[in-house]
Structure 1
Amino acid sequence: MSTFAVFGMTRDVALAEAKKRTKGTRKNVKAPGGVEPVPLVEWLELVEKKTEQIMGGTVRQLSPLFDAPQYAEQFIALARKTSQSRDLRIRAKRVMTDAKGKPIINPKTKAPKVGFCEWQLESIYQTA
């Protein structure tokens, strides 16, 4: 069962997301159809601003799911070598617990909630 993934943000991912989110047109009442294309130079500036905003924002899952944390560590090492990155962390898919360590139960299904939690090497030895 694959349970480990790398979360964080890299400049490449932020740039790709910024390109998707930045519109290539803008409203103009005088243009036919009410819109006009944004010049390429101006669009690239908007993409760069959006990239910086995304780099300073939230984190997301960067890697596919791995079977062992060693593979996630290799992914982190490669990501740090190849591009600018921040907040790269390994998270494991497991049963969510509250502050007292009790599993969080979904009221609708009565099953424990499963989600990604921070993974630490020491946590294995503490539970054993």
Structure 2
Amino acid sequence: MSTFAVFGMILDVAKTEAREKTAGTRKNPKAPAASSRSLRPNGWSWSPSAPRRSWGTIRQLSPLFDAPQYAEQFIELARKTLRCRDMRIRAKAVLVGAKGKPIINPKTKAPTVGFTEWPPKLDSQAA
């Protein structure tokens, strides 16, 4: 069962998200309802500060892996070839609440499964 994935942010993904979120036209409130002014008259005009606004979102970057060492190899390769940040491994697991009990979906009565940090922090380990 594939349970490990790499989460983080890559500059190319940030640029793509910024392009999708940037409006291509701006409505003129004084003009008739059907008119709008294009913000990109000569192709794509994109501000260099746009990816900085999008650098805050962490996304799943890799497919699911069977073992954490494959995720580590993905991180090493990404760091060598791309501009990236906050690369971390997360594993699929049953999500637990503040008291340590599993979160139960009220509709299906099944435990909620999501991604948690890897390696898991064990409170019972001696320092």
Alignment deviations for residues 55-112 of structure 1 (CA, whole Å, 9 cap, x no partner): 1x12111111111111111111111112221111100011112234322222221111
User: Matches of residues 1-128 of structure 1 in structure 2 within 5 Å?
Assistant: 1-28=1-28, 29-30=30-31, 33-38=34-39, 39-40=41-42, 43-45=45-47, 48-55=48-55, 57-120=56-119
Change (3 A) 1:36 1:94: same
SS at match of 2:102: coil
SS at match of 2:49: helix
Change (3 A) 1:69 1:9: same
TM-score, with normalisation over the residues of structure 2? Answer: 0.80
Cα root mean square deviation, aligned: 2.5
Mapped to 1, the partners of 2:119 and 2:67 lie a distance apart of 13
Residue identity opposite 1:58 in structure 2:
T
Mapped to 1, the partners of 2:95 and 2:121 lie a distance apart of 18
TM-score, with normalisation over the residues of structure 1? Answer: 0.80
Change (3 A) 1:40 1:7: farther
Greater displacement, 62-71 / 33-42? 33-42
Q: Name stretches of at least 5 consecutive residues in structure 1 with no aligned partner.
A: none
Q: Name stretches of at least 5 consecutive residues in structure 2 with no aligned partner.
A: none
Residue identity over aligned pairs, in percent, reads 60
